[in-house]
A = this chain, B = another copy of it.
Amino acid sequence: MQLALSTWQEVETYLGHSTGIVIPIGSTEQHGPNGLIGTDAICPSRIASGMAEKQPLLIAPTISYGMSQHHMAFAGTITLRPSTLIRVVIDIVTSLHRHGFTHFYFINGHGGNIAPVTTAFSEIYAAIEGHPSHPLCCRLANWWRNDAITTLARELYGDAEGYHATVSEVALSYFAHPEAVKQVSMQPEVAPVGEIYHAADFREKFPDGRIGSNPALATVEDGERFYQLAVDALAEDYRHFISHGAQ
């Protein structure tokens, strides 16, 4: 059930059964020579939709812009300052909390969001302190960080899975948008690895945007496998969160 395609009365009805909500969050940033700039938003959006096919749940509009400061040396990357993203997350949770939602499950597609989003959670918890009658609890689920995904990625690609513009995320985005599959030859096949500091340094170390990956290996078929695994893993995690999260 997409919030964007519902009416307010339908949301009221939903709240009679559940006070949990799923919020996909991604970024708008370069993903190497054949990866889509929207990859990190596309993957969690698609996974959320898959979860909703298995159980009744409400999905908020995807937060398409994330914290991508370190990718700013590549055209098309858009970054929110971390402080802006923090406020966006606070405002969304606060608004929904007023309507009675209590469990906020963010499906994240981008590592750079982790620090600001968990920071926002702390600010949110601070704001409700001393109001014990209105508990709420937030969780950030990074879809690519679970055993099923990492095991399959290692099995299929070994070290060529990489760290940014990974094969698995490019594959999943291709599954979601087969019309946007790109054939690009890459030099070198597998991208270099290294520490991430500021944007200019990033571009110098990783000139085509990839870190450690060979996303030329990505296929729609593999993408579907990652998708299925992510849906299963997160659906279970969501059920657990709804029933065992903090009250």
Contact = CB atoms under 8 A, between A and B. Distances in A.
Interface string A181-203: 01010000000000101111100
A59 B98 CA distance: 33
Interface in A39-75: 41-42, 60-65, 67, 69-70, 72, 74-75
B115 A95 contact: no
Interface residues of A, number: 88
B123 A119 contact: no
Interface stretch (A29-37, A145-153, A216-224, A225-233): A29-37
A137 B5 contact: no
Nearest to A128: B198
Interface in A74-89: 74-84, 86-88
Contacts of A8: 30-31, 37, 74-77, 209
Contacts of A79: 91, 95, 126
A30 B123 CA distance: 19
Interface string A1-37: 0111111111110010000000000001011111111
Given A32-B7, A74-B8, A91-B81, A64 B67 contact: no
Contacts of A179: 5
A4 B42 contact: yes
Contact of A61 (B28, B72, B198): B28
Contacts of A154: none
A207 to B, nearest CB: 11
Given A4-B36, A36-B6, A61 B64 contact: yes
Interface of A: 2-12, 15, 28, 30-38, 41-42, 60-65, 67, 69-70, 72, 74-84, 86-88, 91-92, 95-96, 98-100, 112, 114-116, 118-119, 122-123, 125-126, 128-130, 132, 135-138, 177, 179-180, 182, 184, 195, 197-201, 209, 245-247
19 contacts: A4-B38, A4-B41, A8-B74, A8-B75, A12-B75, A15-B75, A41-B61, A69-B123, A72-B95, A72-B98, A72-B126, A79-B91, A82-B86, A82-B123, A84-B91, A87-B87, A115-B119, A135-B200, A136-B198
Given A5-B38, A84-B84, A129-B198, 12 more contacts: A4-B41, A4-B42, A5-B36, A8-B31, A8-B209, A11-B75, A63-B64, A78-B92, A84-B91, A98-B129, A115-B118, A195-B245
